Structure 1
Amino acid sequence: MRKSKWWMASMSVVLTAGLLAGCGGNGDAKEGGASSPSGSSESSGNSGSSGSKTKLTLWGAVPAEAGPQAVIDAWNSENPDIEVEYLRYVNDDGGNLKLDTALMTGQDADLFISYSLTRLQKRVDAGVALDLSAKTDYDIDAQMGPDAALWKIDGKYYGMPTKKNMSFIWLNKQMLDDAGLPIPPLDWTWDDLKAYAAKLKKDNVYGLLQHDSSYTATLDGTIAGLGDTNAEGKSNFNNELWKSHLQTLHDMMFVDKSTPEYGEQLTSKMPVDTMFLKGEAAMLSAGEFIFRNANNLAEFPHDFQIAFATVPRVTADQKDFKYPGGLGDALSVNAKSKNQDAAWKFAKWYADGGMLPMASGGRLPSSKSVSSDEAIKLLLQGVENMYDVDSLNKVVFGSFESFQLSIPQQVIDARKEEYEKYFLNKQDLDTTLANMAKRHEEFIK
């Protein structure tokens, strides 16, 4: 592995931005970003002046052409008095910093979507997310179901989760068939995945690639079951399950060489979804957002069928493991917006069916007002034969106990700094776990 001064400087910039803006992840983190907000509302006041057009700006991380623009066009056609503009930000440190700056400085950002609870928490702390629980004309719990409550902060909704979240392992079924490997069972482990990856790797083909947003899925699912602290209030970050999992990933990088070295993946900014669809990896750990590329056969042509497996647990007897999933894409109204009533009107419309054009890219609405069959039909329209139907139904549309990570962003940042040192061979595993726990406990104090 090549380590350069340039890479260390880059990491310093990234980590600094993370501490300023918070880091987190979702699969919509891509290079590029939203342009500087422009224009202003033609009306002042909470609901706009009679006879004038109210202009709203919605910030989200999904590329406009992957569904959001169709959503906006439909709204603007139906609501000539309230015009919405979509601005894309990238769901990485830099992109979130851009959004947070717009929210704090009063730039046009009437509505915004947060992709992790920790991001939303920081925006609530900054006073830029409106308390939606005070709204009496829409029952978020009733519309979105029990998983919505995982997005509550101090018992209140500051963001309305609008879609079903899903994270899983994407499988090149042809490669599995060629290697004589069956589609994994729902309860498989990282030892199983490690063995699969070793058998599936070839020259110029990785056994496993992981999207940045999915890198800590098993760590998070484990701590969601264990709790981040024990009965004595001490950190659980030095638990044996984390130790085993981190060791497994390290071995896959440096011993089996079935997955990329961490430093190489970071510095080269590997387009892991594209690589998987090009046949350069047999397995990909990622979320439902990959559907928008997998379904786009014109730009991402492939002739193999895709199957699915669950995110593995660490051991077969691991108790209380929770799966990354539940609900996501929390839509918020800026507490500083001058057009909150108009923004809230759009939010309700968006959640209860307005967002359907995004289903073809994997963003399935969570509202009970939207037909699941209709959303799934849009997701698979024209590409039904490109997926293994049985594993799709069991994994993608299956029901698993899920979680929303509620660890403070500062703790997530510190954890990342420590495991990066381990994956870059800068410190050993025991030191890594000890430092994670120590920094967690310092934050608690």
Structure 2
Amino acid sequence: MNKKWLEVMVSTLILTSLMLAGCSNGENAEQSESESDEVTLKLFTWINEENGNWEETISTYEEENPGVNVEVNTLVENMSADDYLKQLDLLAASGDELDLIMFPSSEDLAKRISTGMVEPLNNYIDEEDITLDEVYNTGPAPATDDGEYYGIPSKYNTYLIMMNKNHLDEAGLEIPEEWTWDDYREYASTLTTDERYGSYLHTWSTIFDTLKMFGKGEENLLIKSDGSSNMDDPLVKESLQLRHNLEKVDESSVPYADIISQQLSYRQQFFSQSASMIPIPSYMVTEWGGYDPEFEIAWAPWPKNDSNDQKYRYASADILSMGESSENKDEAYKFMRWMTTEGMLVQGKSIPAWKQTDTEEVLNELANSTSNPEAVHVPSLLTAIETGEEAEQFLPAGYMTEVYSAYKTEVEKYLLEGQSLDITIENAKQSVQDIIDANK
């Protein structure tokens, strides 16, 4: 082989190598660019797969939105929102990226606005040119006084009375469609037997120690919308008297001492038929916590304080917020809007706050999604959900959880130690005012 041909062959080999390298680099670049187009959104919640149907829900969204991956982080396995919030705060404090955050109430959201955990949404809402009040039932009002929104309501939880219909039938009692707390006491006494209590009131002061406050059309929390104390409202004292009467006078509701000492679960008490009635939000339509009821569940509206009162419907909501630390805010907002509308129907586990929802159709589908569809008495549930005018609400102060914690401290002295009702209210009133003053 002559020298000239050798030079040609070497040159050809070098050129071929360079071309192959160029192609390879091009493919790597295209692959790298393709990978960089992928977006992963981290969603944080306390709701597990059984009660959230996340696998089907997220798969549906990802199929409709190629290149977007949603990673569901269930921080607790016990479905405890309180435990979840503790873990969430730890993650935020450590600087973890939080794209999408679920909150069980407007109080829990409000507490974290001042910490900078959540991103305001008004710019996204304005750009989309929508009005949240027209799209959602925003009774839980995830907005500050100046109209800044920090979340979108997803699951809509109307306050109702969940009842064991079999027990009602045995006692010859009708499912109430309009009633008072005096009626509730009579029902509880009638339903109480040697084997069970007629009523169960859990430990949350936000509901069970302020029962009568939710019969009002407005100002139904321990702090008013203007930030002043609401402890002078006579319904605060009447709520505690009601609980005391049920547990210690009528002996028709599980004693608070037993709930604390035995660490009783409200799900266990109701679904094991140890208690016939429990005031609870409507999320319990499907969230049975692994129990398969062997009886039919009926529902009644929240009792009125007086038979002549206007009937109001109080609701809370699970709220979906955007993390301030998210690096994919546009995609996060897009998911929020889908999840709180069509996504709620795909999830099929709760009543959406989305106004476009056909409530009766959703209730039937929710019942059919459970392990025992026959256990849900849909007609009474529909009546209870649609009874009354919606109560006015507002986003509470960020220290509202402190207020209820201080209130609970005094309530426990009343229920456990025999502290008088008057002293309980007096001490609680002072504690609440101290918290307000400290946060001015």
TM category, shorter: 0.7 to 0.9
1:45-444 equivalences in 2 (<5 Å): 51-66=36-51, 67-89=53-75, 90-135=79-124, 136-137=127-128, 139-141=130-132, 144-145=135-136, 147=138, 150-154=141-145, 155-186=147-178, 188-212=179-203, 214-216=207-209, 218-221=211-214, 225=218, 235-294=229-288, 299-318=290-309, 322-325=312-315, 328-359=317-348, 361=349, 363-372=350-359, 374-381=361-368, 385-404=374-393, 406=396, 408-444=400-436
Q: Structure 2: how far apart are the matches of 1:290 and 1:149?
A: 18
Off by >6 Å, runs of 4+ in structure 1: 229-234
8 Å CA contact 1:273–1:284 kept in 2: the answer is: no
Q: Which amino acid aligns with 1:106?
A: G
8 Å CA contact 2:159–2:314 kept in 1: the answer is: yes
8 Å CA contact 2:166–2:296 kept in 1: the answer is: yes
Matched residue SS, 1:420: helix
8 Å CA contact 2:108–2:401 kept in 1: the answer is: yes
8 Å CA contact 1:211–1:286 kept in 2: the answer is: no
The offset of 1:83, in angstroms, is 1.1
Tell me the equivalent position of 2:15.
Answer: none
The offset of 1:392, in angstroms, is 1.9
Report the more deviating stretch, 158-167 or 271-280. Answer: 271-280
Report the more deviating stretch, 233-242 or 78-87. Answer: 233-242
The offset of 1:232, in angstroms, is 12
Change (3 A) 1:280 1:139: same
Tell me the equivalent position of 2:20.
Answer: none
- State the percentage of identical aligned residues: 28
8 Å CA contact 2:212–2:238 kept in 1: the answer is: no
Normalised to the residue count of structure 2, the TM-score between the two structures is 0.79
Q: Structure 2: how far apart are the matches of 1:223 and 1:234?
A: 17
Length, aligned pairs only: 390
Matched residue SS, 1:139: coil
Q: Structure 1: how far apart are the matches of 2:312 and 2:187?
A: 22
Q: Which amino acid aligns with 1:144?
A: V
8 Å CA contact 2:137–2:355 kept in 1: the answer is: no
Tell me the equivalent position of 1:18.
Answer: none
The offset of 1:404, in angstroms, is 4.1
Q: Which deviations, in whole Å up to 9, do the C-alpha atoms of 1:67-124 show, x marking residues without a partner?
A: 2332123223333412111112454433212112212322142100112111111111
Report the more deviating stretch, 211-220 or 407-416. Answer: 211-220
Change (3 A) 1:217 1:57: farther
The offset of 1:423, in angstroms, is 1.2
Tell me the equivalent position of 1:19.
Answer: none
Tell me the equivalent position of 1:32.
Answer: none
Larger Rg: 2
Q: CA RMSD in A?
A: 3.0
Q: Which amino acid aligns with 1:181?
A: L
Q: Which amino acid aligns with 1:192?
A: D
Tell me the equivalent position of 2:16.
Answer: none
Normalised to the residue count of structure 1, the TM-score between the two structures is 0.78
Structure 1 unaligned regions, length at least 5: 1-47
Change (3 A) 1:85 1:232: closer
The offset of 1:128, in angstroms, is 1.6
Matched residue SS, 2:286: helix
The offset of 1:147, in angstroms, is 2.9
Change (3 A) 1:365 1:126: same
Q: Structure 2: how far apart are the matches of 1:334 and 1:248?
A: 41
8 Å CA contact 2:164–2:295 kept in 1: the answer is: yes
Structure 2 unaligned regions, length at least 5: 1-32
8 Å CA contact 1:353–1:365 kept in 2: the answer is: no
Q: Which amino acid aligns with 1:132?
A: L
The offset of 1:130, in angstroms, is 0.9
